[in-house]
């Protein structure tokens, strides 16, 4: 779409389509400071989730020097070092996967990037859509542990905890917020929320279904914005909301379950009411001429276009403050590869340990990284947020996958980020959280099975590190949401559970050797920010 | 990209340890063999499904929650309402076309399976029940609102206002405006809300219109929009009437509530004029009138179309992971039909077209239609019929028979080859190879309703290879004979699939398996082995079957399929998963219609006559 990046001066009041003047300045950073101090930037969060994983560590992670060291737990040092891309022939490269055109992945952009290694969900989670954002019960039930975790109950994901947090969306934000979260692609249910967020843990957790059309998403955010001619009648949503409340509170017979569902519908109507009365605070972007829904051919160009059309809407929404949360469950990444078949799942993702499928996986993830993730980061970097900062500086963009380097295995799930989380996050770092060399903690299912086809896999081992739950807790706190809003559950002894996700530990030897038990410091510290990342 | 996961691996989605709750469900107690009867006992690695259900009339079903219309029910209702308002039977369809854009924003329902594997089903679609998708989504609420607003505008254009509201809304006489509004609210509202309006309703919708009753199209549009987002339009709002004796907290539905349940169950649409009239005079609550209405609704072609929704759930035709429908054909690269030498050689003159997947689903649905409506049949017919219902040349050619015209007697299949529904190509097609594991899992789960546990770690990474030296059965046995895979595969999964290995990956009958090299050349021809010990009763390790005919006879004799069908139909009907104890009376009432040669159509109809269908649990 022909989105026009906005390069605006401070306190610049915008003129919208049709020449109508908007009374609200472009971005929060342009707001008049209350007492001479700069107003806090409002952060944006975007999550890109891809299927499978299965990319060998050697293909995914950089080989940077790691001069920095901290102690994560007794006997467990963790390291970090600056990210530095090698530039040659117009390509900037951190690894086989993490490389892109040097005109997009500039040194400035690399300096706003992080690569995190050694984050584990410490049991065999197999196929899932719940690892990504913290609803670990959302798994395929395979492997025994999964059923136990599923029985412990579903939990809301960090994007939805943010979306419903007054710490993330303040009352002032509601004037410009058209959609609290942009959930893209209903084929991947990565987002889960309390059905009635105000009821917290008393409410059941349900999926937040995505939309399958970038054009539809655009219209739901910007489509209702019209020149400021007075509406002849107020939106009827107020009356509809009153009708539901009347039924809910009336004296006709209803079950408690009926009332709970009415509560959910009422909460949705209240959100709709807010959406209908909000107005975006920027120049309305031109309506896209293409739709992601029309780009399913599976060709490389179509696959890239599919992702980029979504990213255009995300960038427009972030720039305008119309929404500050986006989640795209991309699905599989076959379209970025040379693989010519249609059974990527079995032919490639499940064969991650063999050389040719691995080459296709690498190719596909590199495509996703460059054509979608870097595309968005670069786009946000071009958007001036005032004070010499860009919209990317105010954002936290995250890419991770369904599995780690072993498809279905959830150790060492790679996390890549862009953006400074509105000043809350250190960037330009490669962080390795593993406890390398720990006896009896060697991890590699492929190795245990004799390498499963590749000499490279036969000898490879890796080690546990820190909990993926701690990463999720880090991310949500970087977005300004306090612990009190995600530490909502207690264990059977009445102790608060830490981190985001279901605390659970497999009885598999490597995990037990390293993580010990649920009372170990790893689990007890799971709500604390990961080493190196948070600015003090 | 997008929905790329094709679901269950060829190495199986089910494995050792019988931890799965067999009854399914959030209700928790379902499935214990102690609550049903007639089933075999639990084994180390699974649970036998019951063959009948215990009815304890003192038990009441679980508390019910406000149930939403499905997307199909919603659009049908919208269309009928517009047709009625515009006085033109075709107007509803035309209006839906006008509203294509906002309707496209209405998310589809998602097939749901029992709670204990809900994640699996939704993440990797593998069947399920659309009516069980009851999550209230913001995107749905927003779409309902936008559609309602758009319908309001569309029905109050200058060209339509007079027809929809009456001339009183468009004439120059303002003295009739107030009466005009009242009449409209009452008439349109009664259809939209599926009951007469109360004084409070009239007052509320008059308030939506505004204090000034002067004829105003925009105000009428608001009234329509408000009605189309009302709880009574989007949900089955039920308050009940008299308490059911001896069941505290359970109340009989009112006549209008019952009319709505019945109509949406049988037609996926709102009650028509005759049904509304029977509700209005209360006669619907009498057994004779209710029976008459049930018969009338089932005799209407709309019932045929609606039942296809159940068939689609039961047959898993929308699965992307199983051996059926598009899932089956996508499973081994249908798109490669023009470029993969192996697949081209394998398919020969039967290279699938893009339409084949739908034709396979139509073929299976036609069998169910035939034994429901044309020649009412039994569960025995379902499992053993040797008639062909393929109405397209491509499927008929796979079966070696002429295409059926859909009217005359269906052609007979070659004797002894292809008994019953589950040997039709929909269940066999998997591309350039068969998928015995997936065939076995389907029969175990959907036809027998048995329970087996999840596969162990890394099972999904293992794939049955296409080799030049082993049959698919041999390759599958090699892969799954090791511990812990063998605990379930050897007894409970593979044999059910091996018994139909005399059909190839396109559903064609064969007596030997031709093995192809990657370049499409023939590498070997090996004999087919369909001899199995199927463990239809999971504890039965002695009964054998020589192939599909004997397997289907044993399945038929087990009495599991009828009970399993009853459970599947219960889920479809009530949009939730059964509790074998609390729902035992309803399940048994449905199931026993198949006793003594009862017809399938009797089962479809029985559910609406159960007390459970006419009552509601409030506490």
pLDDT (tens digit, 9 = 90+) per residue, B560-615?
999 999 999 998 999 888 889 999 999 999 999 998 889 999 999 999 999 999 99
Tokens of B88: 């033109």
Condensed to tens digits (0 to 9), the pLDDT of residues A456-489 reads 787 888 999 999 999 999 999 999 999 999 999 9
Q: For the segment A389-424, what is each residue's pLDDT rounded down to a tens digit?
A: 999 999 999 999 999 998 888 999 999 999 999 999
Cross-chain Cβ contact B207/A239 below 8 Å: yes
pLDDT at site B21: 29
- Please classify residue B280 by burial: count the beta carbons closer than 10 Å to its beta carbon, then call 0-12 exposed, 13-18 middle and 19+ buried: middle
Does residue A251 carry a pLDDT above 50? yes
Write down the pLDDT at residue B314. 85
Which comes out higher in pLDDT, residue A129 or B201?
A: B201
* Banded pLDDT at B132 (limits 50, 70, 90): confident
Is 60 exceeded by the pLDDT of residue A58?
yes
Interface A:B, Cβ pairs < 8 A? 238
Whether the CB of A126 is below 8 Å from some CB of chain B: the reply is: yes
Instruction: For strands A68-73 and B67-68, give the pairing.
Output: unpaired
Do the Cβ atoms of A413 and A403 come closer than 8 Å?
A: yes
8 Å CB contact of A138 and B123: yes
The pLDDT value recorded for residue A255 is: 97
* B460 pLDDT higher than 70: no
Q: Is B502 left (phi over 0), alpha (psi -120 to 50) or beta?
A: alpha
Q: Any chain A CB within 8 A of the CB of B64?
A: yes
Phi, psi torsion values for A449, nearest 5 degrees: -90, 15
Q: Across the interface, which of A137, A195, A333 has its CB nearest the CB of B1?
A: A333
What are the pLDDT digits (tens) for B146-159? 999 999 999 999 99
Segment 223-282 of chain B within 8 Å of chain A by CB: 225-226, 229-231, 235, 237, 239-240, 251
A270 — contact with chain B (CB < 8 Å)?
no
Kindly report, residue by residue over B343-364, the tens digit of the pLDDT: 889 999 998 887 888 898 899 9
Q: How confident is the model at residue A342 (pLDDT cuts 50, 70, 90)?
A: low
C-alpha dist (Å) from residue B438 to B45, B73, B364, B494, B614 = 18, 32, 18, 9, 38
Can you read off the two tokens belonging to residue A129? 């859509």
Q: Does pLDDT of A64 surpass 50?
A: yes
In the predicted structure, residue B439 carries a pLDDT above the cut 50: yes
pLDDT of residue B270: 98
Looking from the CA of B511 toward its CB, the CA atoms found within 13 Å total 1
Q: Has residue A210 got a pLDDT over 80?
A: yes
Q: A43 near A421, Cβ under 8 Å?
A: yes
Alpha carbon distance A366, A375 (integer Å): 12
Of all residues in chain A, what percent carry a pLDDT higher than 70? Answer: 90
* B119·A346 Cβ contact <8 A: no
| CA distance readout (Å), B307 to B264, B301, B351, B374 | 11, 10, 31, 14
Reported ipTM: 0.89
pLDDT of B162 higher than 70: yes
Report field, pTM of the whole predicted structure over 0.90: no
Asked if the model's pLDDT at residue A17 lies above 50, the reply is: no
| Cβ atoms of A326 and A317 closer than 8 Å | yes
Q: What burial letters (b/e) apply to A308-339, b meaning 16+ CB within 10 Å?
A: bbbbbbbbbbbbbbbbbbbbbbbbbbbbbbeb
What pLDDT score was predicted for residue B127?
A: 60
Does the CB of A470 have a partner CB in chain B at under 8 Å? no
The reply to whether residue B142 touches residue A340, judged by beta carbons under 8 angstroms, is no
pLDDT at B337: 66
pLDDT of B80 > 50? The answer is yes
Q: What is d(CA A53, CA A404) in angstroms, rounded to the nearest whole number?
A: 5
Instruction: Choose the weakest-confidence range: B99-113, B196-210, B366-380.
Output: B99-113
Query: Which residues of chain B have a CB within 8 Å of the CB of A255?
Result: 63-65, 616-619
Q: Is the pLDDT of residue A436 over 90?
A: yes
d(CA B83, CA B175) in angstroms, rounded, equals 29
Mean pLDDT of A29-40: 38
Quote the mean pLDDT of chain B.
86
The pLDDT value given to residue A229: 55
Mean pLDDT along residues A171-183:
93
DSSP assignment, residue B140?
H
Binary contact (B6, A343; C-beta < 8 A): yes
- With CA atoms as reference, report the closest residue to B384 among B568, B600, B603, B550: B550
Structure tokens given for A90: 């117009």
Least confident segment among A152-161, B133-142, B414-423 = B133-142
Q: So what's the pLDDT on residue A3?
A: 31
Lowest mean pLDDT among A170-174, B329-333, B472-476, B491-495: B329-333
Q: Who wins on pLDDT, B302 or A126? A: B302
Residue A347: pLDDT band (50, 70, 90) is: confident
Give the model confidence (pLDDT) of A352-395 as tens digits: 988 999 999 999 999 999 999 999 999 999 999 988 999 999 99
What average pLDDT does range B461-485 have in this prediction? 87
Model confidence band, residue A450 (pLDDT cutoffs 50, 70, 90) = low
Chain B residues within 8 A of A275 when measuring between CB atoms: 142
Tell me which residues of chain B, numbers 429 to 458, contact chain A at a CB-CB cutoff of 8 Å: 454-458
Per-position DSSP letters for B479-518, written without gaps between them: HHSSTTTHHHIIIIIHHHHHTTTTB-TTS-B-SEEEEE-T
| Average pLDDT of the residues in A9-29 | 29
Q: How many CB atoms lie within 10 A of CB A106?
A: 18
Q: Cα separation of B249 and B322, whole Å?
A: 42
Write down the residue that tokens 């059923």 correspond to. Answer: A147
Answer whether residue A89 shows pLDDT above 50: yes
Core vs surface per residue B467-505: b (16+ CB within 10 A) or e: beebbbbebbbebbeeebbbbbbbbbbbbbbbbbbbbbb
Q: Greater confidence, A164 or B120?
A: A164
Query: How many whole angstroms separate alpha carbon A63 and alpha carbon A65?
Result: 7
For residue range A292-313, what is the model confidence (pLDDT) as tens digits?
Answer: 999 988 899 999 999 999 999 9
Interface test with chain A among B107, B123, B192, by most A beta carbons within 10 Å: B123
pLDDT at A57 (0 to 100): 94
d(CA A97, CA A408): 19
Least confident span in A232-236, A241-245, A260-264, B175-179: A232-236
Contact A408 B116 (CB under 8 A): no
The mean pLDDT of B418-422, rounded to a whole number, is: 96
User: Where do the domains of chain B lie?
Assistant: 67-236
Annotated domain spans of chain A: 17-225+279-524
Averaged pLDDT, A30-43: 49
* Mean pLDDT over the full length of chain A: 88
Checking if the pLDDT of B113 tops 90, the result is no
What average pLDDT does this structure show over B421-427? 93
More confident residue, B438 or B58: B58
Band of residue A448 on the pLDDT scale cut at 50, 70, 90:
low
For residue A41, the model assigns a pLDDT of: 79
Confidence check: pLDDT of B207 > 90: yes
Check pLDDT > 50 for residue A179.
yes
| pLDDT tens sequence across A272-299 | 999 998 988 788 899 999 999 999 888 9
**Residues on chain B touching A272 (C-beta within 8 angstroms):** 138, 141-142, 145
- Inter-residue contact B438 to B8 (CB < 8 Å): yes
Q: Is A408 an interface residue toward B (CB < 8 Å)?
A: yes
Least confident of A128-142, A313-327, B85-99: A128-142
């Amino acid at each position: 779409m022909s989105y026009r990046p906005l390069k605006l001066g401070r306190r610049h009041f915008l003129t919208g389509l049709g020449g109508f003047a908007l009374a609200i300045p472009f971005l929060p950073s342009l707001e008049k400071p209350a007492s001479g101090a700069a107003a806090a930037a409002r952060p944006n969060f975007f999550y890109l989730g891809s299927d499978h994983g299965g990319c060998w560590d050697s293909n995914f992670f950089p080989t940077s020097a790691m001069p920095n060291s901290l102690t994560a737990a007794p006997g467990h040092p963790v390291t970090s070092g600056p990210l530095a891309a090698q530039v040659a022939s117009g390509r900037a490269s951190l690894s086989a996967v993490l490389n892109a055109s040097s005109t997009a992945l500039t040194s400035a952009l690399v300096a706003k990037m992080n690569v995190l290694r050694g984050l584990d969900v410490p049991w065999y989670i197999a196929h899932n859509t719940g690892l990504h954002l913290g609803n670990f019960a959302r798994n395929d039930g395979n492997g025994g542990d999964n059923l136990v975790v599923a029985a412990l109950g579903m939990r809301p994901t960090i994007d939805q905890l943010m979306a419903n947090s007054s710490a993330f969306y303040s009352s002032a934000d509601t004037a410009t917020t058209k959609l609290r979260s942009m959930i893209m692609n209903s084929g991947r249910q990565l987002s889960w929320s309390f059905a009635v967020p105000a009821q917290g843990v008393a409410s059941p957790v349900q999926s937040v279904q995505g939309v399958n059309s970038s054009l539809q998403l655009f219209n739901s955010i910007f489509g209702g914005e019209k020149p400021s001619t007075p509406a002849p009648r107020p939106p009827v949503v107020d009356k509809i909301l009153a009708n539901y409340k009347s039924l809910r509170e009336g004296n006709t017979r209803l079950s408690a379950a009926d009332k709970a569902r009415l509560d959910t519908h009422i909460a949705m109507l209240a959100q709709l009411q807010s959406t209908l009365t909000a107005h975006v605070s920027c120049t309305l972007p031109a309506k896209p001429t293409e739709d992601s829904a029309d780009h399913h051919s599976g060709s490389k160009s179509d696959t890239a276009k599919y992702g980029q059309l979504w990213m255009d809407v995300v960038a427009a929404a972030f720039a305008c403050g119309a929404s500050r949360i986006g989640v795209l469950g991309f699905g599989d990444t076959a379209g970025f590869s040379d693989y010519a078949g249609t059974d990527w799942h079995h032919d490639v993702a499940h064969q991650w340990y063999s050389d040719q499928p691995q080459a296709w996986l690498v190719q596909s993830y590199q495509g996703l990284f460059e054509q979608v993730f870097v595309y968005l980061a670069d786009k946000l970097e071009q958007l001036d947020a005032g004070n010499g900062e860009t919209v990317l500086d105010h954002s936290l963009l995250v890419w991770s996958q369904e599995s780690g380097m072993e498809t279905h295995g959830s150790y060492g799930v790679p996390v890549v980020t862009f953006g400074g989380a509105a000043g809350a996050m250190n960037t330009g770092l490669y962080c390795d959280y593993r406890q390398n060399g720990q006896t009896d903690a060697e991890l590699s299912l492929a190795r245990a099975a004799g390498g499963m086809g590749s000499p490279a896999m036969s000898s490879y081992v890796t080690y546990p590190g820190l909990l993926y739950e701690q990463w999720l807790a880090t991310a949500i706190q970087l977005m300004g949401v306090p612990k009190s809003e995600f530490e909502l559950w207690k264990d059977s002894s009445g102790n608060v559970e830490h981190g985001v996700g279901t605390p659970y530990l497999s009885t598999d030897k490597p995990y037990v050797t390293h993580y010990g038990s649920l009372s170990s410091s790893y689990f007890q510290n799971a709500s604390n920010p990961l080493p190196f990342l948070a600015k003090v | 990209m997008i929905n790329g996961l094709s679901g269950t691996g060829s190495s199986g989605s089910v494995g050792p340890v019988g931890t799965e709750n067999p009854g399914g469900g959030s209700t928790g107690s379902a499935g214990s063999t102690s609550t049903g009867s007639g089933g075999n006992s639990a084994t180390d690695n699974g649970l036998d499904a019951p063959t009948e259900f215990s009815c304890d009339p003192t038990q009441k079903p679980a508390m019910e929650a406000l149930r939403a219309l499905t997307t199909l029910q919603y659009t049908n209702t919208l269309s009928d309402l517009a047709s009625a308002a515009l006085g033109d039977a075709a107007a509803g369809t035309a209006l839906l076309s006008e509203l294509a854009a906002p309707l496209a924003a209405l998310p589809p329902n998602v097939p749901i399976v029992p709670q204990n594997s809900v994640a699996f089903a939704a993440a990797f679609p593998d069947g399920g029940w659309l009516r069980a998708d009851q999550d209230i989504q913001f995107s749905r609420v927003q779409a309902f609102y936008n559609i309602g607003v758009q319908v309001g505008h569309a029905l109050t254009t200058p060209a339509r206002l007079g027809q929809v509201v009456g001339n009183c809304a468009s004439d120059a006489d303002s003295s009739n405006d107030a009466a005009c509004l009242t009449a409209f609210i009452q008439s349109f509202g009664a259809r939209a809300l599926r009951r007469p309006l109360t004084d409070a309703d009239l007052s509320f919708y008059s308030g939506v219109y505004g204090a000034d009753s002067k004829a105003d199209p925009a105000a009428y549009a608001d009234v329509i929009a408000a009605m189309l987002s009302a709880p009574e339009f989007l949900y089955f709002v039920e308050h009940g009437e008299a308490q059911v004796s001896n069941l505290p907290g359970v109340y009989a539905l009112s006549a209008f509530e019952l009319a709505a349940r019945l109509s949406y169950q049988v037609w996926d649409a709102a009650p028509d004029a005759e049904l509304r009239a029977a509700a209005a005079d209360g006669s619907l609550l009498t057994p004779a009138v209710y029976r008459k209405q049930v018969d009338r609704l089932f005799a209407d072609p709309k019932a045929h179309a609606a039942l296809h929704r159940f068939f689609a759930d039961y047959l898993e035709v929308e699965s992307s992971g199983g051996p059926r429908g598009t899932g089956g054909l996508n499973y081994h690269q249908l798109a490669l039909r023009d470029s993969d030498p192996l697949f081209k050689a394998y398919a020969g003159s039967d290279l699938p077209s893009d339409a084949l997947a739908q034709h396979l689903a139509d073929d299976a649905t036609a069998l169910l239609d035939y034994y429901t409506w044309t020649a009412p049949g039994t569960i025995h017919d379902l499992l053993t019929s040797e008639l062909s219902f393929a109405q397209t040349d491509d499927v008929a050619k796979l079966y070696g028979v002429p295409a059926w015209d859909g009217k005359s007697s269906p052609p007979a299949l070659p004797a002894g080859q292809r008994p019953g529904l589950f040997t039709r190509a929909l269940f066999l097609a998997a591309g350039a190879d068969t998928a015995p594991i997936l065939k076995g899992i389907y029969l175990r789960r959907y036809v027998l309703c048995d329970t087996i546990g999840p596969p162990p770690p890394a099972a999904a990474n293992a794939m049955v290879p296409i080799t030049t030296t082993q049959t698919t059965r041999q390759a599958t046995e090699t892969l799954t004979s090791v511990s812990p895979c063998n605990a379930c595969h050897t007894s409970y999964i593979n044999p059910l699939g091996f018994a139909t290995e005399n059909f190839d990956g396109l559903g064609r009958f064969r007596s030997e398996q031709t093995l192809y090299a990657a370049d499409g050349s023939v590498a070997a021809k090996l004999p087919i082995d369909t001899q199995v010990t199927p463990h239809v009763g999971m504890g039965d390790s002695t009964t054998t079957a020589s192939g599909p005919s004997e397997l289907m006879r044993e399945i038929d004799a087990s009495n599991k399929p009828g009970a399993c069908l009853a459970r599947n139909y219960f889920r479809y009907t009530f949009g939730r998963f059964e509790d074998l104890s609390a729902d035992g009376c309803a399940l048994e009432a449905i199931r026993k219609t198949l006793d003594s040669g009862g017809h399938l159509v009797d089962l479809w109809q029985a559910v609406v006559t159960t007390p459970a269908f006419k009552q509601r649990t409030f506490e």
